[in-house]
A and B are shown apart, each in its own frame.
Chain A
Amino acid sequence: KAGVTQTPRYLIKTRGQQVTLSCSPISGHRSVSWYQQTPGQGLQFLFEYFSETQRNKGNFPGRFSGRQFSNSRSEMNVSTLELGDSALYLCASSLTGTDYGYTFGSGTRLTVV
């Protein structure tokens, strides 16, 4: 079966702009989680969506937001980009968000200049 698909793979944005990243989970998976990975902080949890509802949120500013559609595809948006937002953004899908089977996508590499 197809894995988790994240688009785009690479993105370069200017400070102050906004960006939208997309994640298509494994078919049948209803939970999508988002993570930010940086060399200094490692993998940090952003938020989780299940059946179009945000159930959980990490400690990130309100500039980071997301949504999930009825087909379980999810998007995350970052507004007013800062240099420190440069990172690898990963999404992970699972059946319920409480099980053990998390599958990660290849990520979107965001560079803010």
Chain B
Amino acid sequence: TQLLEQSPQFLSIQEGENLTVYCNSSSVFSSLQWYRQEPGEGPVLLVTVVTGGEVKKLKRLTFQFGDARKDSSLHITAAQPGDTGLYLCAGVTDSWGKLQFGAGTQVVVTP
């Protein structure tokens, strides 16, 4: 059972379009991380959000942490083919070294 539910599972869009990925949980996390993973590689950390209501921007990517620290979203503006990948959200738990991952959202951006 995934404590973190990601939606949608798959997203296919054209270059230049916008997209939003959601990460929801019934649990409160002290912080939440977003990763992007490409085939055959390990996840690469994009951002960590810590404070409820926090918004962080990374170029064309905007990350938001819900006020209650139970949900988060990732919005990509004017997507490019280089944004293609598996986007994973992960909750930071109180257990040493343990991240609680969502199932991931596969994003495909076609030229």
If over half of A's interface residues share one DSSP class (helix, strand or loop), that class is named, otherwise mixed; here it is strand
Do A56 and B98 touch across chains, with their CB atoms under 8 A apart? yes
Do A31 and B2 touch across chains, with their CB atoms under 8 A apart? no
Pick from B35, B50, B88, B96: contact of A50, CB under 8 Å:
B96
Whether B26 sits at the interface, judged by CB under 8 Å, is no
Q: Which residues of B contact A31 (CB under 8 A)?
A: 96-97
Do A107 and B96 touch across chains, with their CB atoms under 8 A apart? no
Do A109 and B40 touch across chains, with their CB atoms under 8 A apart? yes
Pick from A42, A50, A102, A109: contact of B45, CB under 8 Å:
A102
Q: What count of chain B residues pass the 8 Å CB interface test?
A: 25
Whether B87 sits at the interface, judged by CB under 8 Å, is no
Whether B33 sits at the interface, judged by CB under 8 Å, is yes
Do B88 and A103 touch across chains, with their CB atoms under 8 A apart? no
Residue interface bits A23-57, CB-to-B below 8 A is 1, else 0: 00000000111010000001101001110000110
Do B96 and A100 touch across chains, with their CB atoms under 8 A apart? no
Whether A58 sits at the interface, judged by CB under 8 Å, is yes
Pick from A6, A42, A98: contact of B96, CB under 8 Å:
A98
Which residues of B pack against A, CB within 8 Å?
2, 31, 33, 35, 40-45, 48, 50, 88, 90, 92, 95-104
Which residues of A pack against B, CB within 8 Å?
4, 6, 31-33, 35, 42-43, 45, 48-50, 55-56, 58, 90, 92, 94, 97-98, 100-107, 109
